[in-house]
Amino acid sequence: MNVFSSLARVARGRPAWALLLFFALAFQVVALYFQHTMNLLPCVMCIYERVAMFGIAGAALIGLFAPNNAFFRWGGIICWGVAAVWGVKLAHQHIEYQFPDPNVLFGPTCELFVSFPSWAPLNEWLPSVFQSYGDCSMVVWEFLGYSMPQWLLVIFVMMLAAQVCVLVSELKVLITTLRGEPTATDLNR
């Protein structure tokens, strides 16, 4: 049995999806701790990064609902990938706001207010979580010399790498199944 077969088997169980949900929610708790206890005001990009992390939590809930069902498992994997890629993009953009190119006279700037669709105004529904008050370009917190968006980039890249590993394992099992060959997940039943 190889690593991919093991990953595919793990993705068909609830503990893996529960672990993903735990990490996504733990990062949300940390963000709220920074906001409400340490009084670090979240900026527009912080809020969007928070939404991306909620996207990963939502993906985990989809997979957790019925991990043995291919529809829910694949739905969770795809949503996980989309949210993680979006998080990587947002964190990278946020880093550019904090550390602009010194050779550019007018660097990138972030919006003043969050912009959610009219059918989901999260900042109006739950302003204590989704309202922005800070400046995207300010570095207000560092750990080991890295700012919060830099750490978020690391976190989102790690979540994306985990998603890619699970996706590859699922694709490998799918291809093996389509060929009519037994898979390691079939042999272990």
Tokens of 177: 């199944």
Respond yes or no: is residue 46 known to be catalytic: yes
Respond yes or no: is residue 165 known to be catalytic: no
Cα–Cα distance between 162 and 153 in angstroms, integer?
A: 14
Catalytic residue among 12, 43, 73, 79: 43
Closest CA to 58 of 100, 120, 118: 120
Contacts of 119 (CB under 8 A, 6+ apart): none
Respond yes or no: is residue 79 known to be catalytic: no
Q: Where are the alpha helices (DSSP H) in 37-102?
A: 44-65, 70-98
Contacts of 97 (CB under 8 A, 6+ apart): 45, 107, 108, 109, 110, 136, 137
Respond yes or no: is residue 43 known to be catalytic: yes
Respond yes or no: is residue 50 known to be catalytic: yes
Catalytic residue among 12, 50, 73, 79: 50
Tell me the three state secondary structure of residue 146. strand
Catalytic residue among 9, 12, 46, 79: 46
Tokens of 186: 């079939």
Catalytic residue among 12, 73, 79, 136: 136
Catalytic residue among 110, 165, 179, 189: 110
Catalytic residues: 43, 46, 50, 110, 136
